[in-house]
Structure 1
Amino acid sequence: MTRTTLHEGWRLRADGGPAPDVLAGRDIPAQVPGSTHLDLMAAGLIPDPYLDSNEASLTWMHRVDWQYTTAFQTSAPGVDERVELVFDGIDTIATIALNGVVLGRTANMHRGYRFDVRDCLREGHNELTVTLAAALTYAEQAESQLGWRQRAYPHPYNAIRKMACSFGWDWGPDLQTAGIWKPVRLERWDTARLAQVRPLVTVDADGTGRVDVHLDVERAADRDYIAVVTVDGREERTAVSGNAAHVTVLVPDARLWWPVGYGEQPLYELTVTLLADAEPVDTDRRRIGFRTVAVDTEPDGTGTPFVFVVNGTRVFAKGANWIPDDHLLTRVTPERLARRIDQAVGANMNMLRIWGGGIYETDDFYAACDERGVLVWQDFPFACAFYAEEEPLRSEVEAEARENITRLVARPSLVLWNGNNENLPAYTDWEGWQEALDGRSWGLGYYTELLPALVTALDPTRPYAPGSPYSPGDLPPNDALYGTRHEWDVWNMLDYTHYRDHIPRFCAEFGFQGPPTWATLTRWIRDQPLTPTSPAFLLHQKAGDGNGKLDRGLAPHLPVPDDFEQWHWATQLNQARAVAFGVEHFRSWWPYTAGALVWQLNDCWPVTSWAAVDSDERPKPLYYALKHAFAPRLLTVQPRHGRPTLVAVNDHDQPWTGTVRAARQTLTGDLLATVEMPLDVAPRSVALLDLTDDLLTPVDPRSEVLTVAAGGIRVHHQFAEDRDLAYDPTPFTAEVTRVTGGYQVEVRATSYVRDLALLADKVAPDAVVDDMLVSLLAGETHTFTVRSAASLADSSALRHPRVLRSANAAARAEERPDKD
């Protein structure tokens, strides 16, 4: 078997539609893998669509057809040789031709294609052409054929098997990409090839690792073939009967793969070799991990739980939803994915949910999660829409599902297949959606028949859920007592304190918006003046009434500033507060509540959104709030039985014991009441501790704070909202010191300071601070470490009032001497 990539010498041209005159008859160099946007940007023919209002100026690209061409040299096929042209991914509607002969057509971004080219491959020079039709035009035609179906956004993304958010979302641009987005190659063989390798990895009751390898062989010659499978030095082999074989390798006392925070992540090398007359003719190599996974959905008298159980251990899922990390997908490198997943682990997350409006992620994504112990919940790509179950869509859905289940079957990080995102409640709960169907199919057969049948047949090693949210039987899909829930009344309609209105079994989506970091925002949006309603800023706010919701969400807690820079900080802080509030509430109810997946970890372009990490990879204040709220050990004050109660959450294998010290004091540091009590929290559990009346009864709620600490963990409880507290607006002093690799900023509190944040990117774009949202009592100190390669002419900029910020300043902005 020889594989030759065909990534060189590609050219791109507009092939029809409303392209500007500058593209008429013009070929430009093209990158493969790549996309039309990136090629036109590289040629200087379009501006960066992420910058200012450029997205709106590029809508003509929605209707243009494109043609990619390249030439390559090769030899003609031998008499008994097989030659195939393989595309791992094309975006999306393509006609493939080699030397003028049409090989076939594609209509699905989520799968690969393979074409037999024996009859048209030439000796020497060969010309390959990929003609891409406008996806929007195709989707509209498909919709007219299949019938209109409701969706959350204007374009018919539900009529085509393409990344749904490519057509725009409430956090993403409407660019409708096109291109050859995955590798393309020529494969040649004259004996046989491994057409499919499907390893099912399990663990027997006695701890023996079991690898059942199911493989399909495509023959070019009628020979005797042997399949050889090796794992950890253990080898098994069998003769290939017909075109299939099944080989089992046992690994006694296999070292188990665990989620991060629960154990190590040992990975084993699996090699599958196909022999013909004792000579290898094809090989497949991958890494596997031994673990068991289940989801406990056994009714418990209250409702139906949704608890991930890994290696017999019940796991609280701490994590976030994942969207494509760049709307222009081929810019997402393995290194970038590794950085992002490291950020998730750094925020104490153990799960990422790959959301159904994006893609099946690349192998690099799952490999990074395998290595780091990050559990992956994989949606099938259906989101916020009704989908036709008729042809030609149905066959494409089945083909993509078969391919991707098989591709990902051995990934230890993958722990759930999920049928769709929000399509079940769209049918039952979203006003007018069901009625508008008028009896047409809407996707239920995919979620309850086709997809679970494929998972059962191809991947019986892990569970399947019909959708998210989901409740069993005829119950409302988003019922808090059953299965998974999405919580969007908060953000859309209610103050974030209403997270406590529900105690879900598993919250798979919840979140609150905030703008990107200052350096990212000002790099990409250059309005003068820059305001929440300036044109480019509004173009980068895709949520309906997004700014209105930001202001209404802020107003109960902090004043809504007129100054944009103050507003930027206040809304970022409120985002962090809101989401952390929800996380702490959900975690406090473990084991009844078994998961909290924030919407969302990452951004795909510079935008005001729910993300914790913006598109330039900078962590927002929300990121640090999640790091604290998801910490292995957490103290939080929660309402129980009509009064504030201390909840100690211990997500460790070891008990948490020691002494709890609680104090009520004035903001200026005068002690008013103190209590000590023993702490003893069992492993992986939650304990409730009563707080005495003298701790909970302030004399002046505006001027007092309760702090509770144990084992280096501390919680601050205020008796009033920030806007009502008698904060000192300048409650600290700071000194900056240059150190190797950056700077240290030592802060000394002169009065209570809440949620201190060092917005270091405002001083140097590469600057990253080690922590944020730190609260200090009067007289305490804290040292921030800033990593940066910049040599600042004036390091005092790191303690400027618009860089070193706090909730005090946001609550008392009108009293600050630096007010602009």
Structure 2
Amino acid sequence: MKILLNEGWQLQGCDRHSKADEAARSGQWSGEWLDAAVPGDVHSTLLRHGRIADPFYSTNVEKCRWIEDKVWWYRMEFSFDRPLADGAICELCFDGLDTFATVYLNDRELGSHENMFTPAVFDVTGRLRPGLNRLAVRFDSTIAATAGKDYEKMWYSYSPNRAWVRKAQMNFRWDWGPRLITAGIWRDVALNVYQTAKIDSVFAHTAALREDAADLQLEIAATVWRPEAGLHAEITLSRPGQRLTDTVALREGRAALRLTVPEPKLWWTHDLGEPALYDLTVLLKDGATMVDSYSTPIGIRTLTVQQRTEDGQKRFTFVLNGVPTFAKGANWIPAHSFIGAIGEDAYRQWIAIAKEGRMNMLRVWGGGIYEKEWFYRECDRQGIMVWQDFMFACSSYPDFDPEFMANVREEVRYAVTALRNHPSLAIWCGNNEIQWIHGQKLSDLQDLRLYGEKIYHDLMPELLAELDPTRLYWPSSPFGGNDPNSDDEGDKHNWQVWAGQVYPHRHGEKLVVDNTPAGISFKKFAQDYGKFVSEFGIHAAPVLRTLQECLPQEELYWGSFGLRYRNKDKRPNRGFLMMQSYTGLPSDLGQYIDYSMLAQAEGLKYGLEHYRRRKPECSGALIWQLNDCWPAISWSIVDFHGRPKASYYYVRRAFQPILLSFKEEGPDTVSLWAINDTLQEYRDRVEIGLADFFGNSEYREVLEIAVPANRSVKLREFSKNRINVTYTNFEFLYAQPGDAAAGGNLFFFEDYKDLNLPPCRLEVNRDRAVEDRLELRIRTDNFAKFVKIEHRLDGATLSDNYFDLRPGEEKIVTLQGLPGSLLRPEEIQVAALNQGS
């Protein structure tokens, strides 16, 4: 029996060791209490009651720093009048306490907890009163709780405290988010009543996959309070049109069973097939009496990482059901600084955004959280693989402290057990960038030891060998080669682009940075020969509406302090350097938004096409980053409110399963490639040509092509002389497939700032909405660069945006997702960068 205790909570703050704090500890409640949502957090509660201004508006976040210094009390009362059978066990479970928490029941201390990522479970058998019971949780200041710790041995970024705290590391500030050290009950609270036994865990994984059947291995672990009970588990595996059942007896709280599934429906990523799911149910019974149950969706699939080919070539390729894949995706950070406030609908929408962006992998970055169950359920359902970091990032960690290590051991055990049944989960990774950064610091460190190494190289592999030997464990990201960020093997983070890091680089050498327009240019992507690029990115502003909602009117101008405050990068001038290199510097806010978006979009397109052309030598490209935790100027391609930047649409087009792509081979040579990620041969008639911005054709050719399944192929190489290139700032190449399912492409010989674009005139026909769909027909006379469609209709989505139109070309774009009565054509604006007056 499970009784949720999420309702009726109240919140009060006080100074540590104050009279109010001592009174609350002894149950002598006084002062003002605020109704508090659970799951939730202190900041959200104070905001809802008007006790703080919106931290995301202007610089208000700086006015909230006092919250991290306080003690915060949660309290609630619940009635418990249900009769309990003899031998009943009662457990009070907090699924998530952030972070230094002490729990009280009926004014008596039950115990304390110091890990945001693990549940706090207390045996309250015999402690419940008939009728009203009082429950309270005291949260100590994270800063106070870590005072006096040993910081001398270790290196860190942003805050020394965070290395000792098992909570979301991004709370302490990051280079895309503010310092907001949260506290509170951020997951469910429940009272669980058991009789005889409870299920601790069920592990279901595909043991073998054959042409006409799959073997599913089930492992069940239970806590048994009555050893004499004759426990057995009844297993049901079902999906529409198929149902399998079996029974297995438990011995000393353990059972294992292999279930053969005939003609299984396999779980695939959405781009390769259907992400088929089965419903697994386990009923734990004592004779005919059910004592506990467990149910979850699972997928039947195999998923491995190929690190060497049969002939010895190094790779880093995810192989799904025997099919080598190219991982197309992005890095994921918590979608809100107030992590407890993120609900199921938000996760559903975000994963849909990733899927619509043609992504098949998300990396859960190691400075946030082990995401909520909704996140993984949606990835399972929508067919997106998950690269899962453990929650360690960019810092040493005190592996010399026994209490800290015991806390981490429990965290890893819980995270693995909780997540391992998700078919979307592809890989476990020990940390974010720690091995790599430590190598860069060796020339400056007196103590050369990597503090935390015991976690990633001893504790984690030991527990994973026990709990989940079915997936690759990767100690860090990046990792592999002499330098952990090597081109030679493993995965790589490309921060040559944007951060100006100079490569090649060897372990232990001081990192050289070229912070010039040429040094940070996205053209540096062409020098990247990594096997799997798990981070790379470029900054851009969000859409104007997002800035209008988080800045006062007097700060809405190019160069304002408020605008600069949205940018948390350590070197905020990099955005200027990127624009200086590609678009030229802007003169006003509107131009800044356009130019920063164009540089980000074109840069990510350039990098993605480079990586995809190198398939299979390169087998993955994960953009830094998909999303934001607050309204920011950052690397995200979709802003905090879920509003796509230009780069989202560029990335979506660059991730098309079949894509034509130009490559600059040298100063006088350009090649055309076809990338085919599908499992069928791609045959087509492709028109290629050279034209000017008025539409005059200088060269035209039709190619008959055949591209093997799951391959990248060079189709043709062109010299500029052969195709009569005369004015590189006034001409462009195009490749137009005949197959509508394939993606065409354009190639410019010069950067945007050097193009001689004539003014264009856009003709826009806005058809009246039918049900929830409105159609825009957009046509241009001359070449139209960066055509953008703007609207203020939250919830409505565009089929495409921020695109180029060739002279005379017409494009149809649909806007849908809202009732037709709300889709007012007159509220939709369409413009191009070179639009005439």
- Give the TM interval when normalised to the shorter protein: over 0.9
1:156 lines up with 2:161 in the alignment:
yes
**1:130-173: CA deviations, max 9, x gaps?**
000111222334x33x7552112134211111011111111112
Distance 1:18 1:495, change over 3 A: farther
Q: Which residue of 1 aligns with 2:26?
A: none
Q: Which residue of 1 aligns with 2:627?
A: 602
* 1:23-422 → structure 2 map (5 Å cutoff): 25-75=31-81, 79-141=86-148, 143-144=149-150, 147-205=152-210, 207-221=212-226, 222-232=228-238, 233-298=243-308, 304-389=314-399, 390-422=401-433
Distance 1:317 1:202, change over 3 A: same
1:444 offset after TM fit, Å? 1.4
Letter in 2 for 1:352: L
* 1:641-660 → structure 2 map (5 Å cutoff): 643-660=669-686
- Between 1:38-47 and 1:249-258, the stretch displaced more is 249-258
Is the partner of 1:634 in helix, strand or coil? strand
1:738 lines up with 2:768 in the alignment:
yes
1:24 offset after TM fit, Å? 9.5
Distance 1:116 1:772, change over 3 A: same
- Between 1:232-241 and 1:601-610, the stretch displaced more is 232-241
Quick check: 1:759–1:805 contact (8 Å CA) kept in 2? no
Quick check: 2:39–2:341 contact (8 Å CA) kept in 1? no
- Between 1:662-671 and 1:193-202, the stretch displaced more is 193-202
1:737 offset after TM fit, Å? 3.6
Separation in structure 2 between the aligned mates of residue 608 and residue 382 of structure 1, nearest angstrom: 24
- Between 1:458-467 and 1:70-79, the stretch displaced more is 70-79
TM-score of the pair, normalised by structure 1: 0.93
1:238 offset after TM fit, Å? 2.4
1:507 offset after TM fit, Å? 0.3
1:771 lines up with 2:804 in the alignment:
no
Separation in structure 2 between the aligned mates of residue 239 and residue 293 of structure 1, nearest angstrom: 30
**1:604-645: CA deviations, max 9, x gaps?**
111111111111111111110110000111111113477311
Q: Which residue of 2 aligns with 1:491?
A: 498
Separation in structure 1 between the aligned mates of residue 404 and residue 759 of structure 2, nearest angstrom: 60
Letter in 2 for 1:575: Q
Distance 1:789 1:560, change over 3 A: farther
1:428 offset after TM fit, Å? 0.8
- Between 1:194-203 and 1:784-793, the stretch displaced more is 784-793
1:16 lines up with 2:15 in the alignment:
yes
Letter in 1 for 2:224: R
Quick check: 1:758–1:805 contact (8 Å CA) kept in 2? no
Letter in 1 for 2:787: L
* 1:556-705 → structure 2 map (5 Å cutoff): 556-640=581-665, 643-693=669-719, 694=721, 696-705=723-732
Unmatched segments (≥5 aa) in structure 2: 21-28, 501-519
Distance 1:415 1:767, change over 3 A: closer
Separation in structure 2 between the aligned mates of residue 573 and residue 322 of structure 1, nearest angstrom: 22
Quick check: 1:760–1:786 contact (8 Å CA) kept in 2? no
Distance 1:448 1:529, change over 3 A: closer
1:695 offset after TM fit, Å? 5.7
1:648 offset after TM fit, Å? 0.6
Q: Which residue of 2 aligns with 1:512?
A: 538
Is the partner of 2:702 in helix, strand or coil? strand
Distance 1:147 1:301, change over 3 A: farther
Separation in structure 2 between the aligned mates of residue 195 and residue 797 of structure 1, nearest angstrom: 55
Separation in structure 1 between the aligned mates of residue 270 and residue 821 of structure 2, nearest angstrom: 37
1:537 offset after TM fit, Å? 2.2
Distance 1:635 1:173, change over 3 A: same
Separation in structure 1 between the aligned mates of residue 536 and residue 210 of structure 2, nearest angstrom: 37
Letter in 2 for 1:394: M
Unmatched segments (≥5 aa) in structure 1: 810-815
**1:239-266: CA deviations, max 9, x gaps?**
2212222233221232211112111121
Identity of aligned residues (%): 30
Quick check: 2:551–2:562 contact (8 Å CA) kept in 1? yes
Letter in 2 for 1:608: I
Is the partner of 2:409 in helix, strand or coil? helix
Matched residue count: 795
Separation in structure 1 between the aligned mates of residue 787 and residue 127 of structure 2, nearest angstrom: 68
Separation in structure 1 between the aligned mates of residue 583 and residue 17 of structure 2, nearest angstrom: 49
Quick check: 2:302–2:321 contact (8 Å CA) kept in 1? yes
Separation in structure 2 between the aligned mates of residue 234 and residue 782 of structure 1, nearest angstrom: 50
Distance 1:41 1:465, change over 3 A: same
Is the partner of 2:74 in helix, strand or coil? strand
1:313 offset after TM fit, Å? 0.7
**Cα RMSD between the aligned structures?**
2.3
Separation in structure 2 between the aligned mates of residue 184 and residue 32 of structure 1, nearest angstrom: 8
Is the partner of 1:739 in helix, strand or coil? coil
1:568 offset after TM fit, Å? 1.1
TM-score of the pair, normalised by structure 2: 0.91
Separation in structure 1 between the aligned mates of residue 677 and residue 551 of structure 2, nearest angstrom: 41
Quick check: 1:516–1:614 contact (8 Å CA) kept in 2? yes
Quick check: 1:262–1:653 contact (8 Å CA) kept in 2? yes
1:214 offset after TM fit, Å? 2.0
1:52 offset after TM fit, Å? 1.4
Separation in structure 2 between the aligned mates of residue 300 and residue 550 of structure 1, nearest angstrom: 44
1:272 offset after TM fit, Å? 0.9
Q: Which residue of 1 aligns with 2:564?
A: 538
Letter in 2 for 1:135: T
1:708 lines up with 2:714 in the alignment:
no
Separation in structure 1 between the aligned mates of residue 31 and residue 433 of structure 2, nearest angstrom: 45
Separation in structure 1 between the aligned mates of residue 73 and residue 417 of structure 2, nearest angstrom: 31
Q: Which residue of 2 aligns with 1:813?
A: none
Q: Which residue of 1 aligns with 2:503?
A: none
1:440 offset after TM fit, Å? 5.3
Distance 1:139 1:679, change over 3 A: farther
1:206 offset after TM fit, Å? 5.2
Is the partner of 1:522 in helix, strand or coil? helix
